[in-house]
Structure 1
Amino acid sequence: MKKLWEGSKKFKQDSQLNNYCIWLKEQYNLPFENYHDLWQWSVENIETFWESIWKYFKIKSHSPYIQVLSSYNMPHCKWFEGATLNYAEHIFKQSHPNKTAIFFSNESGLNIEITWNELERKVTSVVNYLKSLGVTKGDRVVGYLPNVPEATIAFLATNALGAIWSSTSPDFGTESVVNRFAQIEPKVLFAVDGYTYNGKPFDKTETVKDIVSFLPSLQKVIVLPYLNKKALEYLPKDYVNINALYTINGGKLEFQLVDFNHPIWVLYSSGTTGLPKAIVHSHGGILLEHFKYMAFHNNVSEGERYFWYTTTGWMMWNFLQSALLMGASIVLYDGSPTYPKFDSLWKISDNLNINHFGTSAPYLVANMKKQLDIKRAHNLQSIKSISSTGAPLPAEAFNYVYENIKTDVWLCSMAGGTDVCTAFVGGTPFYAVHSGEIQCRALGVSLYALDDLGNPIEDDLGEMVIDKPMPSMPIYFWNDTNNARYLSSYFEDYPRKWRHGDFIKINSKTKGLVIYGRSDATLNRHGIRIGTSEIYSAVNKIKAVEDSLIINLELEGGKHYMPLFVKLKTGGSLTNDIKQAINNQLKSDYSPRHVPDEIIEVTDIPYTISGKKMEAPVKKILLKMPIEKSINMDAMRNPESIQFFVEFAKTL
């Protein structure tokens, strides 16, 4: 693996992780020579490790905990029982009244800065209004909002009350929203009247009314007039303008204490093949995990500016809020990442002096495919780290970042999921960045690659498994009798071990990792397992191809059929030369087994709203499973793209 970057001696010494190591030596007499030894200790002594996180970050509990961990039996274990705390209280412990807490921009050119003092005032006003509605601990408050300051304010107010937050973004359709929110029976809805994307306005007033009609539990709808200042004229008279709440006399912001294991929010699986799983995390579990990850794996510090391009429907929005725990400012952006120009996000970084720039792997790959020379067009002097998640980041995209974006930057490729609202694997300031590799397994994450017999392996493809509990694992799924769906989602294949559904390879020398795609969409080619990311990595090198999707069908008689679907760049058409170039690239980079049986041109590749390729649903369609059991169109970003595969299946 090619080494692309390594932090200086000063960078390592000044890091939050090194400060923690010094503290461990002072408090526990635990000296560590390197990151891997520290990780090994953290997973072999998880109770001591997580208690050290509690102490290091000075978690404020209003009652003592009885024990760190009740049991190692996932998912039935409980953490820090007896402790009472509040996540939002820890956010506002970082308050510096006149400093900026939130920077906000949108594609229409709006720029807003909100100080800590203003943030606290607005949160207090919303808390008081929610109290007047009778919202109390355990009630559900939901947001149908873009990535705007009002979403953060509504979440923090909900959290301060001990109520449970949940959100979706306004690009979700009525059915998709109702499929999520109806499960948890919310008492209050924060909704937007519309938004702008790619320069086009999208009025959502009728959608909001439709959503409300399907949620009989709602007692109040609070509207953000974002697209149109007169939006409330087109909505029922009992809907409340959120701006009116800010005039309510605030007083002092008070925090409702809740049990460590009390729900903080409900997140949702993509729901591509059924009702989305309503995943519930705990106040304390998220607090500890996000303190750990922000500090030690992202090195976020007080006064820095932390950005992630996300919507409120992706777990990275929730993750982004936790940068406030570090005393950092969060940078919110609403709109298309490529409007009005493809490099718009980099321009925002220049304008706002972003220190930590978070995005998705597909965005970096798209920049690479466009052959954008970002470092020539932009300064980016303030950027210390670029983080990437959402899909495996191919080696050539690693190389592109250092060649065309910034040479002296810490590239933090990370992977985790909505399931735990964090990353299992990610960055460490102690290691070098190698092309195509995620740097490390995160502290406290007892993660291994297992072979077909369930034995831990290195330097070979294996199933990603976590064999010890983490505080941010779900406390339960909503309305999941006897944890049946929870158990079947993660614990069916390996008893008492969390199977995440990814294929990985752990490098025994660098201790880095490569993720090869979802194991439930694995290409089992003549008995050899192939990760889908390998195919995409090679195909990405073909300039004529904009995007691709690979599927392998296991047929009767031990036969296989592996078609590759390609979306060509605008104006292109699939020629024999392009097909040959793809096949040659796959053979050259990997093996003849990677060559598809057929290459087929499509107009678009199916994606979920959160930006994941829909390999498994397409596979089900091609296997001629009923479409209603294969895919939920309302969970798609581009539902029209699926029709090709429905028709194509008829020809097989």
Structure 2
Amino acid sequence: MTATARRAGAPDLLYRPGPEVTDGARVQDYLGWLARERGLTLAGWADLRAWSVDRLEDFWESIWHYFGVKAHARYDRVLVERSMPGAQWFTGATLNYAEHCFATADRADSLAVLGYSQTRPPVELTFGELAEQVRRARAGLRRLGVGLGDRVAAYLPNCPETLVAFLATASLGAIWASCAPEFGTPSVVDRFAQIEPKVLLAVAGYTYGDKQIDRRAELAAIRAALPSVEHLVHVPYGPLALDDTLDDAVAWPSLLDAADDPLEFEPVAFDHPLYVLFSSGTTGLPKAIVHCHGGILLEHLKNLGLHWDLRPADRLLWFTTTAWMMWNVGVSSLALGASVVMIDGNPLYPDLREQWRLVERTGATLMGASPGYLMACRREGLRPAAEFDLSRLRQLGVAGSPFPAEGFRWVHEQLGDRVLLNVGSGGTDVCTGLVQASPLQAVWAGEMSGASLGVDAKALDERGNVVVGDLGELVIGAPMPSMPVGFWGDDGSRYAAAYFAEFPGLFRFGDWVRFSEAGTCVITGRSDATLNRGGVRLGTAEFYRALQDIQEVSDSVVVHLEDSAGGMGELILFVVPSEGHRLDDDLRRRLGQQIRSALSPRHVPDQIVEVAAVPYSRTGKKLEVPVKKILRGAAVDAVASPGSLLDPASLDAFAQFALHRQARPR
């Protein structure tokens, strides 16, 4: 039911999900299980959320048993102590993440993978077919000498072969890492050189929209820069117009040659490394973040089961590349008995409607999308539910950047109460969502429904006090199983400095957040990009939201250069004019008036500058901090690797602006 009024001091209640979302939801079943098996009766979501944090050990032990985690050796203790860093979970237990992706043996004939690509025709695999390919790939990797603790790196797109290779690697107790093939040579080397892989899997090329991309030259340079690589495995995938071969490589079909080896799963300790994820690398060498078998398994069972409501026969469709943590999260749908839809190519080709077409074609029950994509659909007047059969869709996940209230309202207008709008935020550091919705929560316009189960998320002011109703640093106050084991090759000092230096004992996430008294929250951007003008702090997302209805502006990035005396500093707004428009004095005046009215007089920019493009990382993050460093005098190559950028030339205009700014008389 849509809300028509707003309580004083509370966010706008947009709607409560209808019975199509709540009836039969997995979290409802979990509440019933707690009552039957644990004698714990909880009144609803608020009680469950509080219990999951207050009784942390009991909560995670219940997740272990409710989802039927298969252990080869029993655990001694759930959590040795609640200290951070250094928390130890389920000590003594041995298990294997990959084994749980085939735990639903009765679903051998059900679809596990649907692969859609602009490079080749669709591919479908049942759970049985997937298991057989993993069995063969596992035997092939063993023939190449891969074993416990070895690293396998992939320069591969989001296709079924990548999934097969990952599960085969994990089954051996080897350690996985991947980069999307659109990454340039320096970015790939910066990542893979840290972990010294024994085997490298790669494609020779791919198709992006209507463009054929040849990556053989880049791959040759990558291989030359990785002396640890003993074997290159070529996955046939390239466009037909290219010579889809790689010199001195093991062919994927030969890796999968018939073998009698059974599909087995190496039992490893709970905290044994599963894969290494890499930070964006826009502000230095990417952090090589190590995630473990047990932590990822438990967190993803909880997240995909109780928040995303995935069940057997469901299908998850979320556009991602192999360089983003959403690829790793999507794979875990298999552990819930659900299917994963793997999409490779240009997500906007041939037009904005393609993602909705795929939802209809695949019968997806959960679709993931970026705020930018949904707002573009809104601007273009798309009517997804009227144009496509979305009858199986139960949840729309939104993540990647702040989502304005207007986007919430548009989604609800299009999809109604029967589809849960789950807007969330998390990150590579924990490989999950920290704040999001669930089938039992209401949806509030412009705000995320609250902290995830088992996540002690809160906002702290500069003195370390918890704040409600005001912006503060997002921190996690208690350990999570999916917190990193550490950074690869680190003695612990870099890891501690990254998350625990500012607030000892608390995991500082780096986002700027405001929690309401109702528990909802708004993330307004990275805390190191916050606009602090004369003591009035403002998140960058709030700034961009004030400009979203000015049609002459297609994109923008704002930077605040603080002064050492703690005064107003200099606030600079860079805008990309919409097609057919330019930044003139009239538009500057209108932008200033809009910001003054919507935000505050203190946040009217000192300068408004036209640029051709706003810089983004390849995972869609707007790069405010690198721009800020360039304006402070840093060189472009010191703040961002070109291969980590969506458009490698997008920072050049800011470097030129910085030069002219420094040359101005003061």
SS at match of 2:281: coil
Deviates more, 1:419-428 or 1:33-42: 33-42
SS at match of 1:225: coil
1:245: which partner in 2? 255
1:207: which partner in 2? 218
**Is the 2:140–2:257 contact (alpha carbons within 8 Å) kept by the matching residues of 1?**
no
2:502: which partner in 1? 493
Deviation at 1:651, TM superposition (A): 2.5
Are 1:363 and 2:373 an aligned pair? Answer: yes
Give the alignment partner of residue 556 of structure 2, picking from 521, 540, 548. 548
Deviation at 1:214, TM superposition (A): 0.9
Gaps of 5+ in 2: 1-10, 662-666
Distance between the aligned counterparts of 2:20 and 2:429, measured in 1?
A: 36
Deviation at 1:234, TM superposition (A): 4.7
Are 1:256 and 2:266 an aligned pair? Answer: yes
1:505: which partner in 2? 514
Are 1:337 and 2:330 an aligned pair? Answer: no
Alpha-carbon displacement from aligned partner over 1:248-285 (angstroms, at most 9, x marks no partner)? 23553111110111000000001112110000011000
Amino acid at match of 1:114: L
1:121–1:301 distance in 2 versus 1, CA, 3 Å: same
Deviation at 1:451, TM superposition (A): 1.8
Distance between the aligned counterparts of 2:596 and 2:75, measured in 1?
A: 57
Deviation at 1:555, TM superposition (A): 2.4
Distance between the aligned counterparts of 1:216 and 1:11, measured in 2?
A: 52
1:191–1:108 distance in 2 versus 1, CA, 3 Å: closer
**Is the 1:75–1:475 contact (alpha carbons within 8 Å) kept by the matching residues of 2?**
no
Alignment of 1:365-514 (within 5 A): 365-404=375-414, 408-481=418-491, 483-509=492-518, 511-514=519-522
SS at match of 1:639: coil
Deviation at 1:491, TM superposition (A): 0.4
1:644–1:405 distance in 2 versus 1, CA, 3 Å: farther
Alpha-carbon displacement from aligned partner over 1:391-442 (angstroms, at most 9, x marks no partner)? 1111111122223465632111111100010011111111111111111211
Deviates more, 1:625-634 or 1:111-120: 625-634
Are 1:583 and 2:583 an aligned pair? Answer: no
Deviation at 1:21, TM superposition (A): 1.1
Are 1:69 and 2:79 an aligned pair? Answer: yes
Aligned-pair identity in percent equals 43
SS at match of 2:522: strand
Deviation at 1:233, TM superposition (A): 6.8
Deviation at 1:5, TM superposition (A): 2.6
When normalised by structure 2's length, the TM-score is 0.94
1:219–1:231 distance in 2 versus 1, CA, 3 Å: farther
Alignment of 1:13-24 (within 5 A): 13-24=23-34
Alignment of 1:52-63 (within 5 A): 52-63=62-73
**Is the 2:134–2:164 contact (alpha carbons within 8 Å) kept by the matching residues of 1?**
yes
1:315: which partner in 2? 325
Deviates more, 1:281-290 or 1:227-236: 227-236
1:29: which partner in 2? 39
Amino acid at match of 1:578: L
**Is the 1:468–1:497 contact (alpha carbons within 8 Å) kept by the matching residues of 2?**
yes
1:7: which partner in 2? 17
Deviates more, 1:191-200 or 1:282-291: 191-200
1:222: which partner in 2? 233
Gaps of 5+ in 1: none
SS at match of 2:650: helix
Runs of 4+ in 1 over 6 A off after TM superposition: 230-233
Distance between the aligned counterparts of 1:319 and 1:471, measured in 2?
A: 15
Deviation at 1:377, TM superposition (A): 2.7
Deviation at 1:207, TM superposition (A): 1.3
**Is the 1:396–1:537 contact (alpha carbons within 8 Å) kept by the matching residues of 2?**
no
Deviates more, 1:254-263 or 1:90-99: 90-99
Are 1:125 and 2:136 an aligned pair? Answer: yes
Distance between the aligned counterparts of 2:288 and 2:409, measured in 1?
A: 38
Amino acid at match of 2:548: N
Alpha-carbon displacement from aligned partner over 1:108-137 (angstroms, at most 9, x marks no partner)? 562121111111111111000111112111
Deviates more, 1:580-589 or 1:66-75: 580-589
Distance between the aligned counterparts of 1:191 and 1:298, measured in 2?
A: 32
2:625: which partner in 1? 616
Deviation at 1:90, TM superposition (A): 0.7
Amino acid at match of 1:256: E
Deviation at 1:368, TM superposition (A): 2.8
Amino acid at match of 1:459: G
1:304: which partner in 2? 314
Amino acid at match of 2:274: I
1:44: which partner in 2? 54
2:542: which partner in 1? 534
Distance between the aligned counterparts of 1:31 and 1:364, measured in 2?
A: 39
Give the alignment partner of residue 519 of structure 1, picking from 521, 527, 540. 527
Distance between the aligned counterparts of 1:149 and 1:253, measured in 2?
A: 18
Amino acid at match of 1:576: D
Deviates more, 1:343-352 or 1:316-325: 343-352
Deviation at 1:27, TM superposition (A): 2.2
Distance between the aligned counterparts of 2:260 and 2:623, measured in 1?
A: 47
1:599: which partner in 2? 608
Distance between the aligned counterparts of 1:230 and 1:573, measured in 2?
A: 40
1:188: which partner in 2? 199
Deviates more, 1:560-569 or 1:260-269: 560-569
SS at match of 1:379: coil
2:574: which partner in 1? 565
- How many aligned positions are there? 649
Alpha-carbon displacement from aligned partner over 1:579-606 (angstroms, at most 9, x marks no partner)? 3433333334333233222221111000
**Is the 1:65–1:83 contact (alpha carbons within 8 Å) kept by the matching residues of 2?**
yes
Distance between the aligned counterparts of 2:134 and 2:245, measured in 1?
A: 27
1:390–1:11 distance in 2 versus 1, CA, 3 Å: closer
Amino acid at match of 1:104: G
**Is the 2:19–2:418 contact (alpha carbons within 8 Å) kept by the matching residues of 1?**
no
Distance between the aligned counterparts of 2:122 and 2:181, measured in 1?
A: 20
**Is the 1:606–1:614 contact (alpha carbons within 8 Å) kept by the matching residues of 2?**
yes
2:89: which partner in 1? 79
SS at match of 1:516: strand
**Is the 2:81–2:87 contact (alpha carbons within 8 Å) kept by the matching residues of 1?**
yes
**Is the 1:567–1:601 contact (alpha carbons within 8 Å) kept by the matching residues of 2?**
yes
1:76–1:625 distance in 2 versus 1, CA, 3 Å: same
Amino acid at match of 2:125: I
1:10–1:363 distance in 2 versus 1, CA, 3 Å: closer
Alpha-carbon displacement from aligned partner over 1:46-73 (angstroms, at most 9, x marks no partner)? 1111111111111111111111112222
1:615–1:315 distance in 2 versus 1, CA, 3 Å: same
Are 1:155 and 2:166 an aligned pair? Answer: yes
1:348: which partner in 2? 358
Distance between the aligned counterparts of 1:243 and 1:210, measured in 2?
A: 24
SS at match of 2:615: coil
Give the alignment partner of residue 164 of structure 1, picking from 171, 175, 184. 175
Deviation at 1:503, TM superposition (A): 1.1
Are 1:574 and 2:596 an aligned pair? Answer: no
Distance between the aligned counterparts of 1:10 and 1:108, measured in 2?
A: 37
1:68–1:594 distance in 2 versus 1, CA, 3 Å: same
**Is the 1:401–1:407 contact (alpha carbons within 8 Å) kept by the matching residues of 2?**
no
Amino acid at match of 1:490: Y
SS at match of 2:311: coil
**Is the 1:291–1:326 contact (alpha carbons within 8 Å) kept by the matching residues of 2?**
yes
SS at match of 2:101: helix
Deviation at 1:232, TM superposition (A): 7.1
RMSD: 1.7
Deviation at 1:524, TM superposition (A): 0.6
Deviation at 1:365, TM superposition (A): 2.5
Amino acid at match of 1:518: R
SS at match of 1:336: coil
1:99–1:251 distance in 2 versus 1, CA, 3 Å: farther
Distance between the aligned counterparts of 1:233 and 1:418, measured in 2?
A: 33
Distance between the aligned counterparts of 2:389 and 2:585, measured in 1?
A: 42
1:109–1:602 distance in 2 versus 1, CA, 3 Å: same
Distance between the aligned counterparts of 1:633 and 1:158, measured in 2?
A: 30
Deviation at 1:540, TM superposition (A): 1.6
Distance between the aligned counterparts of 1:122 and 1:9, measured in 2?
A: 39
Amino acid at match of 2:189: V
